[in-house]
Amino acid sequence: MDNIVEAVNLTKKFGDFIAVNNLNLQVVRGEILGLLGPNGAGKTTTVRMVACLLKPTSGKILVDGYDAVKEPEKVKQKIGYMPQRFSLYEDLTVVENFEFYGKIYGLSSMERERKARELLEFVELSRFGNRLAGKLSGGMKQRLLLACALLHEPELLILDEPTAGVDPPLRRRFWEYFRELNKKGVTLLITTHYMDEAENCTRIGIMNNGNLIKSGSSIELKRSIYGGDVIELQVKTSISRVETILSGNQDVLRIIPSGDAFLIVVKDSEKSLPAVVEALRKENVDVLSIRVVNFSLEDVFIKSTEVDSNV
C-alpha cells in the first residue's frame, strides 16, 4: 500500500511526561484518517510532529518519502496544516492574509489571485475578502484557516480538531468540504474527539495514553469488540438448544449468554440475520425479540481502553 505518512517508533517526551509513546502510524494515500481519543491522548502532539512543528524525541517520520526532521522544507511543501487555534493575522484582511502566505509559498501574483478567488469561493467567504480577519465570526475564521491551508495545493491536509467549538450545521458543512477535497485526491489526517464525526473517516485510529491502540474502518473497529457483528436474541429456550440449532451455520462464530438474552456473534449481520431467524423458526423456537446490536465508536473506545488497562 502507498503510505503518504509513515511514522515508526515515534516518541515525544515533554520533560518526564511521555505524550507519544513508541507510536507506529501509517496514513494511506487518498484516505481520511481520523485520530480519535480523549484529551491528552497524544493526538495533537502526533500531528504536530508530522507537520514539523515538534521534533520527536525518538523515532522517525516520513512524509511522502521525506524525513520530517531532516528535510522539513520538503515536507512543508507537501502538507497543509490547520491548527486548533486561529493562526492567521487578525489585523490583516482576508485577502491580505492570502497574499502574504501566497508569497511565502512562492506563488506568482496571478496564481495568488486565482487561488484566493477559488478558495474563498470554496469556503464561501468571497464576500468577505476585504474584511479584517479579526472581524470574522468564529466559524468564518475556521473556514479561512482551512482555505489558507489549501493555498499551495498540499497532498496531505492535517487538521487538528477542525470542528472544535463549531456549531453542528457548520460542522456538517466542514465534512462536506473534507469529502470534496478527498475526492480531488487530497489525503486527510484529522484529529477529533467527536465520536460521531469519526464515522466520516475512511479509517480511524484510536489513541490513548500516547499510543495507537487500534485502527481500522468504523465497521472493522466495531466488529473487533466481539470479533464480528452481534445479534441480540431473546428466546424461551436454553443456550444449548440455540447452540445446536445454529451450529450448522458457518457464519455464526460464537454465542454468549447475556442476562436473559443471547449475543450471537456473526461475521456479517446483514447476511446472517435472515438465516438465523429462519433456522430458529424451523425448529419452532419462540423468538421474543431479535435485533442487530449497533455499537458506537464509544463502545469500541471503552472496550479497547479496558483491555489496555487490564494488560
Partner 1 sequence: MYERIFAMVEKELRQLLRDRRSLGIAILLPVIVMFLYGYAYGGGTQHIAIAIGNLDNINELSVKLEELILQNNLFEVKKYVYSVDEAMRAIENGDVYGVIVIPNGFYEALTNDGVGYVAVITDGSIPTLSEAIQSGMKNVLENYGKMLLKGNYLKVEQLRIVRYGATLKNIDFFAPAVIGLVLQTIPVSLIAISIVREKERGTFEQLVVSPIKTYEVIFGKFLAYATVSILDFFLIFSIGKLFFGIMIRGSFLEIFLASLLFLIGNLGLGLMISSISNSQLQAQQASSFIFIISAVFSGLLMPVQALPKAATIIAYFLPLYHFNEALRPMMLKGLGLGDLVGEVMVLMFYPLITVSISIIMFKKRLD
Between residues 92 and 285, which has the closer beta carbon with respect to partner 1?
92
For residue 126, give the DSSP letter. G
**Which grid cell sits at 51?**
507537520
Outline where 255-296 has alpha helix (H). 269-282
Neighbours of 131 (CB within 10 A): 15
Task: Give min distance, CB of 166 to partner 1, in A.
Answer: 17
Between residues 75 and 198, which has the closer beta carbon with respect to partner 1?
75
Task: Give min distance, CB of 92 to partner 1, in A.
Answer: 7
Pick from 101, 98, 162: which is nearest to 131 by CA? 98
Residues that bind partner 1 (CB under 8 A): 51-53, 55, 73, 76-77, 79, 81, 83, 85-92, 96, 100-101, 103-106, 148
SS (H, E, C) 131-193: CEHHHCCHHHHHHHHHHHHCCCCCCEEEEECCCCCCCHHHHHHHHHHHHHHHHCCCEEEEEEC
Between residues 55 and 241, which has the closer beta carbon with respect to partner 1?
55
Between residues 14 and 286, which has the closer beta carbon with respect to partner 1?
14
Say how far apart CA 175 and CA 181 lie, in whole Å: 10
Phi, psi of 268 (to 5 degrees): -145, 110
Between residues 149 and 264, which has the closer beta carbon with respect to partner 1?
149
Say how far apart CA 204 and CA 199 lie, in whole Å: 8
Task: Give min distance, CB of 274 to partner 1, in A.
Answer: 52
**Which grid cell sits at 271?**
447476511
**Single-letter amino acid, residue 170:** L
Between residues 52 and 276, which has the closer beta carbon with respect to partner 1?
52
Between residues 49 and 242, which has the closer beta carbon with respect to partner 1?
49
Task: Give min distance, CB of 305 to partner 1, in A.
Answer: 30
**Single-letter amino acid, residue 8:** V
Task: Give min distance, CB of 182 to partner 1, in A.
Answer: 20
Task: Give min distance, CB of 184 to partner 1, in A.
Answer: 21
Task: Give min distance, CB of 87 to partner 1, in A.
Answer: 4
